[in-house]
Structure 1
Amino acid sequence: MSSLRSFNGRRLRTARRAAEQRQQDLGEALGVSKVAVADWESGKATPPPERLPAIARALGQSVDVLFERIGPPDLAGLRADAEYSQTQAARALGISRVPLGNAEGGKRRLAADIAERAAELYGVSLAELEAAQDVSFGIMPANRLVAGRPVAGTVGEKLRALLRTRPMSDEELAAAINRRAQAEIVEPAVIEALRAEQHPAEEILAGLPLGTVYEGLADALGVPPFHFQTGEQVEREIMERLRFLAQGLGEGRVTVNARGGGGISEEMLAVAAELVMREMRADDAEGE
């Protein structure tokens, strides 16, 4: 089972232009030709997964935003995020490609000593590596599905994943939150506690305005604020807004227009209807 990051050539072109870079500029930063970049953007070719973090970094983007991962990482995903090809990782671990290939393909798990060394090489905890290995064997985390799409786990896990591609100090992250709050509400020790998961995030952030904290982290790390919310929080917020839109439609305060108009697009209305129907089916199931 694969859960590698998605790649879209048109999105890459948009990000490159937003960064005011030419294809040649990006190619030079990555050590590839202008033609290779052009092929990626046109869809003629796809960069190897292990190149995606470097591409995002060269464009000043978060790899989690530019190249979204659909689902939790498997072993191949962790390796690619650490910017290793399978051959390079095997060489760094002092083994052949066979054990890695077998584990990534869901055939045979890594030996305990190799798993420990791989976790260190990939910059993750042993628990994170074992969870990724489970995914490679088709075992998905049951509590990480929201609206049919797996999402990342704890705030600490999300922070560590983002900081691997956009290193920032605890002081810098705390400062970003305080700028959002326009007050000194967070000290670097709070960020350290979140990263290390010394306690659940709910305890660490108790008494703090969570929206402001997430917005500050999002500002610093280049992701949407909801990236740090739980699936339940995101779904609840979406449903609240959909109910508001539905009420507005019923009262005539909100109109449905074609693309480019001033109201809600037909596409958005279709998504809203699907989500509302999903909630209604869930309510019916609970009542049975």
Structure 2
Amino acid sequence: MPARRFDRSRVRAVRRAAEIAQTDLAAAVGVANSTVGGWETGLASPDPEKLPALARVLKRELNDLFPRTGLPDLTDLRCDAGYYQYETAKIIGTKSAGPVAGAERGERRLKDRYIPLLAAAYGVSEAELRRAQERSIDKAQREPGDEPEHEEAGIAPAAGGPPSTLSEKITLILDRSYPGQQQPPSDAEIADAVNAYAGSEVISEEGVRALRTGAQDAAAPVVLDGLAAFFAVSPMYFQPDDAVARQVYEGLRLLSASRKGSVGRVRGRGAGPQGLSANVMSLVNDLVTELEQRDPEASG
């Protein structure tokens, strides 16, 4: 998973605006004064486990001060909770952090009895922890720099399959629709677009951030419709309908493939009531054929 982005200039600006001395910040997060100086001059970067404490001291939301696109794996959840790996041994009641280390490396799954303990410590639900675990395993099963393969498609699926929560649905679109150097829209831009769709202010930048990060898991129908219009997906995508979510997920796989030049390896296939509908499958196959004709080498 992509690491959180540490912007030394922004951290320095936020600290100065809050009138917090480097020495006070260092003391609050438990590091030497010179360490904070190194962070702000670019000589070093803080451990990801330190970012939550930094955000708290600077009175900023973690996702605002240190943004990250993409869905979290087990390592991300631990770091976002401010725990170092060795500290997890005490959480799960073992002599070492071996079980957590192995799960983070994707070598083996956590025992069921560890799930509720870690979920509570990390401040997430057990379902979120299990989905993060699957992302760690998915990451470990591919070579560095390679995209994971999905059966015969050769295109990376969203880790853990189609999204289920509102946060995962928004994050999936942001992650898959703006690859490479393209920058996804900011929370403020999304809020402006939704408000323009509604014709009045129905959500704020902070409200969008809460939905995107999972701090809030529900929104008014007009907000969901505005999000669907902005992202150009079916309004049903943001409803609790697994079949529709899977169809949009498959469409995003195709979009990702076309932008990576590997769309020729993708073929829509029927997958029962939870897969692509006949119309969508036909559209996918027609588009693949058209792109193959334009660029025969893409299917090689």
TM-score using structure 2 length: 0.52
Superposition map of 1:141-156 within 5 A: 141-143=161-163, 144=169, 145-149=172-176
1:70 touches 1:150 (CA, 8 Å); kept in 2?
no
How well do the aligned residues superpose, as a CA RMSD in angstroms?
3.8
In the TM superposition, what is the alpha-carbon distance from 1:91 to its structure 2 partner? 2.2
| Matched residue, 2:235 | none
Question: Which ranges of structure 2 fall in alignment gaps of 5 or more residues?
Answer: 139-158, 164-168, 179-197, 233-258, 260-282, 288-300
Residue in structure 1 matched with residue 64 of structure 2 by the alignment: 65
Equivalent residue number for residue 108 of structure 2:
108
Residue 118 of structure 1: aligned partner? 118
Is the Cα contact below 8 Å between 1:218 and 1:224 reproduced in 2?
A: yes
Structure 1 residues 13 and 236: CA distance shift in structure 2, 3 A? farther
Q: Cα–Cα, structure 1 residues 31 and 125, in superposed 2: closer, same or farther, change >3 Å?
A: same
Change (3 A) 1:211 1:41: farther
- Label 1:224 to 1:118 Cα distance change in 2 as closer, same or farther (>3 A): closer
Tell me the distance in 1 between the aligned counterparts of 2:19 and 2:92: 39
Amino acid at match of 2:128: E
The equivalent residue for 2:136 is 136
Distance 1:46 1:91 in 2: 27
Structure-2 residue corresponding to 1:87: 86
Counterpart-to-counterpart distance in 1, 2:27 and 2:52 = 16
1:23 equivalent to 2:22? Answer: yes
Q: How far apart are residue 126 of structure 1 and its match?
A: 0.8
Q: Displacement, 1:42? A: 1.9
| Correspondences of 1:121-200 after superposition (within 5 Å) | 121-138=121-138, 139-143=159-163, 144=169, 145-149=172-176
Q: Which amino acid aligns with 1:126?
A: E
Asked if residue 237 in structure 1 is aligned to residue 225 in structure 2, the reply is: no
Please show how residues 200-219 of structure 1 align to structure 2 within 5 Å: 212=201, 214-215=203-204, 218=206
- For residues 229-268 of structure 1, the aligned pairs below 5 Å read 233-234=226-227, 236-237=229-230
- Say if 1:72 and 1:150, in contact at 8 Å, map to a contact too: no
Closer, same or farther: CA 49–233 of 1 in aligned 2, 3 Å: farther
User: Which deviates the most, 40-49 or 102-111?
Assistant: 40-49
User: What is the CA–CA distance in structure 2 between the aligned matches of 1:131 and 1:67, rounded to whole Å?
Assistant: 22
- Equivalent residues of 2:6, 2:45 under 8 A apart: yes
Q: Which has the higher contact order (CA 8 A, sep 6+)?
A: 1
Contact 1:52 1:63 in 2 (8 A): yes
Q: Against the structure 1 CA distance between its residues 44 and 150, is the aligned structure 2 distance closer, same or farther, given a 3 Å change threshold?
A: farther
How far did 1:85 drift? 0.6
- 1:172-223, CA deviations, whole angstroms, 9 ceiling, x for partnerless residues? xxxxxxxxxxxxxxxxxxxxxxxxxxxxxxxxxxxxx8974532x827x9x5
Q: Contact conserved, 1:52 with 1:67, CA < 8 A, in 2?
A: yes
Distance 1:132 1:231, change over 3 A: farther
Residue 238 of structure 1: CA displacement?
7.3
2:8–2:42 Cα contact (<8 Å) kept:
yes
Distance in 1 (alpha carbons) for counterparts of 2:130 and 2:200: 32
Mapping 1:17-56, distance limit 5 Å: 17-56=16-55
Deviation at residue 119 of structure 1 after TM alignment: 1.2
Q: Distance in 2 between matches of 1:211 and 1:33?
A: 49
Distance change in 2, residues 1:140/1:237 (3 Å): same
Structure 1: gaps spanning 5 or more residues: 152-208, 240-277, 279-283
Deviation of 1:71 after TM superposition, in Å, equals 1.0
Tell whether the 8 Å contact from 1:56 to 1:66 is kept in structure 2 after alignment.
yes
Distance in 1, Cα, partners of 2:97 & 2:160: 25
After superposition, the Cα gap between the structure-2 partners of 1:140 and 1:121, relative to the gap in structure 1 and judged at 3 Å, is same
